[in-house]
Amino acid sequence: MSTEPSPSPRNRYLRNWLSFAGGVLAVSAFFAFLFLFAIDLFAHNGNPYMGILAYVVAPGFLFLGLGMIAAGVWWQRRHEKSAGTPLPNLLHVDLTRPADQKKLKWFVVASVGFLLCTAIGSYQSYHVSESVNFCGQTCHTPMKPEFTAYQNSSHARVECVACHVGHGAEAFVKAKMNGVHQLIGVITGDYQRPIPTPIRNLRPARETCEECHWPNKFTANLDRIYQHFLADETNTPFAVHLSLKVGGSDPAHGPVGGIHWHISKDNKIEYLATDERRQVIPWVRVTSPKGEVTEYRSPKFTNDISQFEVRTMDCIDCHNRPSHRYRTPNDSVDLALSTGKIDRTLPWVKSNAVAVLIQPYQTEPEALQKISATLRAQYPTAKNVDALVAEVQGIYSRNFFPEMKADWRAYPENIGHKEWPGCFRCHDGTHKAVGDPKKKIPASDCSSCHTILAQGAGEQLQKLNAKGDTFIHVDAEYENFDCHSCHTGAFPK
């Protein structure tokens, strides 16, 4: 090779503008990659764009550059061929020549180096595309509501992909294909506000939630206190102390029964919903461990089920907001009052705080500014008004996303039954077994899912009744299974 006169005929092909530009691009991209890689390695600032630049953008340009070099060579060769110039041999290696041996060694070293860099690069690209930052922060506006709620949830340390993608190559490829589609949506601004729920193609809970939460585990009763404050002048406290009968789903680990009975691997519960958000469930089918099938229908539903999607019940049919829970203004103000972040002695503060949160704002800055102005006008002499304003603004920023039209109203929560139908979608007393109208999905009694240990305020809360109290509703008037028709999450009707 080295014996040939310069420029060597092969290098000749590189002498065109396209290959030259490609070379410059590839070399710059390679150094940019090294530089960004070093920064990413040493600076732990968690900037989501750094990873993307280093492992997605820089390698992209590197390959573009290499591609341009190749295209240039091809183009040049074709050009010369058509011009009738004699074509040299493409490659001629003679290992007896020391110069060729030396070149070969360098070639091997360079190739190994390049492959190593590519391997690190692709491993890192994989990591970046799976990271919480990539999912939650890169496409900032559309994911802001889910990301913010996620950070405030008990799953804040669980990666998005643990629930949304799951294990396995197939899941990975599917997610990436879906991701490309979403990326196009983000770039063109063509995405829905709010992002629709539920997700139709979410991995079955068996492959996500159950990787961490062992469904066979017996969970005893859970003791919970729901602390509220009424929307009156004195912000009267009212609490309900419940013992929730969560129970278990595997006889090897405790009695099967209670709320987690639904996920026992021996039972199969299927249902269909007639609306997009799965809030109206007129048909349920239970297959018992012995294979007996019971079909329940609500009275008005006489349709043929084949025109609907039948879903097998799993964790997310109850826990549908495990990591993206937008608290209702009622609950978030109650929480701030009970932890002392809002001063309970301010007259009407519960009512005023809820009212200012639910106004129709167009943007977050507008909302924050108006929240401040309104509360300052309502409490001109209160010395802790700054703290009040800061807390109500904080509640807004954590739970309301006007740019995406996302807040509690857009995302039903299925775990209870106060603000949304939840459990009462099925347990409402109207679902009767086909062929045996006396048999219903249990509902008749408020203590089938929980016992009210105590309710009220102060001293009343200290006297626990193990047998369970009947619910004393503040207003006394309520229809059994219709809590959500009045309790909207803001002011009850």
Hey, which residues between 224 and 253 contact ligand HEC (CB under 6 A)? Answer: 226, 228, 230-232, 238, 240, 242, 244-246
Contact between 320 and ligand HEC by CB under 6 A: the answer reads: yes
Chain centroid to Cα 141, Å, comes to: 14
Contact between 453 and ligand HEC by CB under 6 A: the answer reads: no
Q: Closest separation between CB of residue 485 and ligand HEC, Å?
A: 6
Q: Closest separation between CB of residue 261 and ligand HEC, Å?
A: 4
Contact between 323 and ligand HEC by CB under 6 A: the answer reads: yes
Buried b (16+ CB within 10 A) or exposed e, 156-168: eebebbbbbbbee
In the structure encoding, which two tokens stand for residue 5, read together? Answer: 């006169």
Identify the residue among 26, 375, 441, 454 touching ligand HEC (CB under 6 A). Answer: 441
Q: How far, CA to CA in Å, does 368 sit from each of 294, 361, 375?
A: 53, 9, 11
Q: Closest separation between CB of residue 168 and ligand HEC, Å?
A: 14
Contact between 349 and ligand HEC by CB under 6 A: the answer reads: no
In the structure encoding, which two tokens stand for residue 222, read together? Answer: 């859970």
Stretch that binds ligand HEC, among 156-164, 358-366, 384-392, 457-465 (CB under 6 A): 156-164
Contact between 186 and ligand HEC by CB under 6 A: the answer reads: no
246 near 258, Cβ under 8 Å? yes
Burial (CB < 10 A; 0-12, 13-18, 19+), residue 367, is: buried
Contact between 313 and ligand HEC by CB under 6 A: the answer reads: yes
Contact between 469 and ligand HEC by CB under 6 A: the answer reads: no
Contact between 255 and ligand HEC by CB under 6 A: the answer reads: no
Cα separation, 477 vs 486, whole angstroms: 11
Contact between 446 and ligand HEC by CB under 6 A: the answer reads: yes
Contact between 492 and ligand HEC by CB under 6 A: the answer reads: yes
Contact between 336 and ligand HEC by CB under 6 A: the answer reads: no
Edge-to-edge strand ranges of the sheet holding 450-456? 222-229, 237-244, 450-456
368 near 353, Cβ under 8 Å? no
Instruction: Tell me whether residue 120 or residue 293 sits nearer to ligand HEC (CB atom).
Output: 293
DSSP H helix total and E strand total for the chain: 15, 9
Stretch that binds ligand HEC, among 33-41, 43-51, 168-176, 475-483 (CB under 6 A): 475-483
Q: Closest separation between CB of residue 293 and ligand HEC, Å?
A: 10
Instruction: Tell me whether residue 336 or residue 449 sits nearer to ligand HEC (CB atom).
Output: 449
x/- mask, ligand HEC, residues 161-180, rule CB under 6 A, reads -xxx----------------
**How far does the chain reach from its first CA to its final CA, in angstroms?**
90
Chain centroid to Cα 300, Å, comes to: 35
Q: Closest separation between CB of residue 59 and ligand HEC, Å?
A: 24
Identify the residue among 52, 160, 353, 375 touching ligand HEC (CB under 6 A). Answer: 160
Contact between 297 and ligand HEC by CB under 6 A: the answer reads: no
Q: Closest separation between CB of residue 95 and ligand HEC, Å?
A: 55
Instruction: Tell me whether residue 238 or residue 408 sits nearer to ligand HEC (CB atom).
Output: 238
Instruction: Tell me whether residue 47 or residue 294 sits nearer to ligand HEC (CB atom).
Output: 294
Residue ranges of the alpha helices (H) in 223-363?
329-338, 349-357
Residue 435 falls in which region: left (phi positive, over 0), alpha (psi -120 to 50) or beta:
left
Q: Closest separation between CB of residue 427 and ligand HEC, Å?
A: 4
Q: What are phi and psi of 453, to 5 degrees?
A: -80, -35
Burial (CB < 10 A; 0-12, 13-18, 19+), residue 488, is: middle
Q: Closest separation between CB of residue 410 and ligand HEC, Å?
A: 8
Instruction: Tell me whether residue 29 or residue 135 sits nearer to ligand HEC (CB atom).
Output: 135
Our CA angle for 367, 369, 372, nearest 5°, is 105
Stretch that binds ligand HEC, among 5-13, 184-192, 374-382, 484-492 (CB under 6 A): 484-492
Contact between 88 and ligand HEC by CB under 6 A: the answer reads: no
Closest CA to 260 of 309, 226, 224, 210: 210
Contact between 48 and ligand HEC by CB under 6 A: the answer reads: no
x/- mask, ligand HEC, residues 267-296, rule CB under 6 A, reads --x-x---------x--x-x-------x--
Identify the residue among 29, 36, 62, 195 touching ligand HEC (CB under 6 A). Answer: 195
In the structure encoding, which two tokens stand for residue 21, read together? Answer: 């530009």
Burial (CB < 10 A; 0-12, 13-18, 19+), residue 300, is: exposed
Helix (H) or strand (E) holding 229: strand 222-229
Number of residues that bind ligand HEC (CB under 6 A): 96
Identify the residue among 7, 67, 257, 289 touching ligand HEC (CB under 6 A). Answer: 257
The DSSP bridge pattern shows strands 432-433 and 436-440 to be: antiparallel
Contact between 260 and ligand HEC by CB under 6 A: the answer reads: yes
Contact between 318 and ligand HEC by CB under 6 A: the answer reads: yes
DSSP assigned state of 290: T
Cα separation, 227 vs 239, whole angstroms: 4
Identify the residue among 154, 306, 307, 345 touching ligand HEC (CB under 6 A). Answer: 154
Amino acid at 484: H
245 near 258, Cβ under 8 Å? yes
